Amino acid sequence: MTIHNRISGQFTIIVASILIGFSLLIYFVSATYRREEFYERLKSKARTTVRFLVEVKEVDHDLLRIIDRNTLTAMIDEKVLVLDERNQLVYSSVDDHPVRYQPDLLDAVRRNKEVETTNGDNELVGILYEANGQRLVVLASAYDQFGQSKLANLYLTLVWGLFGGIGLTVVLGFFFAGQSLQPIGHINRQVQTITARNLRQRLDEGKRQDEIDQLAVNFNAVLQRLEQAFEQQRSFVSHASHELRTPLAALKSEIQLGLRRPLSTDRYTEILQNLLFDTDRLIALSNSLLLLARTLENLEAVTMTSVRLDDVLFAAQEELLTSNPDYIVQFQYDKPPETETDMRVLGNESLLIRVVLNLLENACKYADDRRAQVRIGTKPQHVWLSVTDTGIGLSADEQTHIFEPFYRAPAAVTYEGFGIGLAVCQRIMEVHNSSIRVESEPGQGSTFTITLPQF
């Protein structure tokens, strides 16, 4: 079932339920009012008759029958009976159509003083009249033809009105559902035109005031991220191809040089050394690409534990100095931790060590004195670590690209590396719901800062 039909159907059911509920309420309230009003008329008739009979001496039974039959308020099939304490008939307004009743009815009237019931199609009331030492039971019965006719007309009116209202609701519900879903249909048609070749196309966001406009805004944001992912993929392939082509081209040139003509032993040795260098570079690049691919693929499933960020720093420092004894790492706390938990964060220790190790290695590599200055501290609900160097620095434009895979600042191309490490660092920090930022000036060095939520 389409959303259009579902909305119109639900709207019809809701409105039909309301109409049925109001129709039933109106009918039953009207029926109750008719019944109560007619019972009051019967009680009034019964009291009037018994008072004439008992209190007015000039009125005998025959005159009272004449009065009952000719009164302007006479009702259809009206009958009045008056009975004494021995259940003997004292008065009857009719002789040819006696009122049938159960003997228990008289006992109920004497017990409750008033009884309302039915006698076939007629309503019947019984009242107890006490005066001059007499306890008389008066039964009055009649058929409310006018009230029943009005009630029947009301029933037909409500039924036809209900059918008409439901039919109109179906038509209007279908129409307004279509009107309401028209913007979604427009968005759907726009989405169908978007392919991998035109990811720059965007949906019409309207005035950004309603939920459908917000849906278009959110979808455009998804398209923006998707376009960025495609651009990063194309950039990755382009840079990877370029980085791989350089050592491969060097390998081919050296081999061609060795095959072109006989060379001396020293020359062959030089060519083999060049081949070894290019091969090592190619292996290092392949390992970097493999590291980046694994990092991007498997980070979502890493195990998080409570670790001290200063312990992470010490482990990265030890690993760095083991492989590069000439590097120098200077460390200090921004403020000495007051408790053992001040430096604790929730993270994966090996991944955090990789991040800090990369920042330390870059700082020492680009600094003339091979020195990295590290500070670590806390702020409300967070722990931060900064690595500062006095190296080549970065311009504002270079800082916007520094975390892209394979990006290298123009001043850094003469240094060893492939431009992958910072991209891996940023991805690892995203998995930790944390941040990494850079502050730098060309020729003045750089400061990289990571900030993690405190555990």
CB neighbours (10 Å) of residue 335? 10
Q: Are residues 306 and 253 in the same domain?
A: no
Domain assignment of residue 192, yes or no: no
- The Cα 151–Cα 66 span in angstroms is 31
Q: Are residues 127 and 262 in the same domain?
A: no
> What total of structural domains would you count in the chain?
3
Q: Are residues 437 and 338 in the same domain?
A: yes
Domain assignment of residue 198, yes or no: no
Per residue of the chain (455 residues), give pLDDT as tens: 677 788 888 888 898 999 999 999 999 999 999 999 999 988 988 888 888 777 766 555 565 566 666 554 567 888 888 888 888 888 887 765 565 677 788 889 888 999 999 888 889 999 998 877 788 899 988 899 889 999 999 999 999 999 999 999 888 888 887 877 777 777 777 777 777 777 777 777 777 777 777 888 888 888 787 777 777 677 667 766 766 777 788 788 878 877 777 878 888 888 888 888 878 877 877 776 776 666 666 556 678 899 999 999 999 999 999 989 999 999 999 888 878 888 899 998 988 998 999 999 999 999 988 999 999 999 888 999 999 999 899 999 999 888 887 788 888 878 877 788 888 898 888 888 899 999 999 988 999 999 999 88
Domain assignment of residue 199, yes or no: no
Q: Are residues 281 and 414 in the same domain?
A: no
Residue 146 Rama label (left phi>0; alpha psi -120 to 50; beta): alpha
- The Cα 136–Cα 85 span in angstroms is 6
CATH number of the domain enclosing 284 = 1.10.287.130
Q: Sort strands 76-83 and 382-388 into parallel, antiparallel or unpaired.
A: unpaired
CATH number of the domain enclosing 138 = 3.30.450.20
Final residue of a structural domain among 150, 174, 194 = 150
Enumerate long-range contacts of 49-53, CB under 8 Å, 24 or more apart. Answer: 49/80, 49/82, 49/91, 49/93, 49/138, 49/140, 50/82, 50/129, 50/136, 50/138, 53/82, 53/90, 53/91
